[in-house]
Amino acid sequence: MANLWLKIKVGTKIAIFGILTIATLLFLFNNVNKQVKIWLWNEYDTTLLNVLFFTVLVSVIFTILIGTAFRTIRQIKEIRARSRSQRLEDEIRDMKSKASMLQTKPGTAGSGLSDLGSSSIADDASNPPQP
């Protein structure tokens, strides 16, 4: 059964290809010497096939150029985003290195001040001043 579907699929593709080939040949045969006048700042006499060929050629070139322009714009945006994130990472790294270089004073710890103050008050209470 699978072989039958394969034959139908191949036969359909061959038929479509044949119909398109015949249509293309009929188009070429009927338009090979058809004269047209085209205006590009001056009027030119040429054949329809030349006009169609150059129209397709120019369309393909413009499509490639437009695609290239959009890719270039996207790449420029990516480069800006990467340089911005790199700059921010450098600033954070610089801030961390500066913060690690800061030194704290040994006697300014929070618990040390309260202990020092309470012990000096207790010492003063137990030893009254002598006249």
Q: If we measure between CA atoms, which residue out of 48, 52, 53, 55 comes closest to residue 31?
A: 48
- Tens digit of each residue's pLDDT (9 = 90 or more) over 3-12: 888 899 999 9
CB 48 within 8 A of CB 34: yes
20 has pLDDT over 90: yes
The more confidently predicted of residues 48 and 18 is 18
Instruction: Determine the pLDDT at residue 106.
Output: 63
Residue 34 DSSP SS3 = coil
As given in the structure block, the two tokens for residue 22 are 């015949």
128 has pLDDT over 70: no
124 has pLDDT over 80: no
- Tens digit of each residue's pLDDT (9 = 90 or more) over 47-64: 888 899 999 999 999 999
Amino acid letter at 114?
S
What is the pLDDT confidence band of residue 126, given thresholds at 50, 70 and 90? low
Please state which of the ranges 12-26, 74-88, 96-110 shows the lowest mean pLDDT. 96-110
Instruction: Determine the pLDDT at residue 44.
Output: 85
Give how far Cα 123 sits from Cα of 109, 118, 119, 126, 129, Å: 22, 9, 6, 5, 11
Mean pLDDT of 54-78: 96
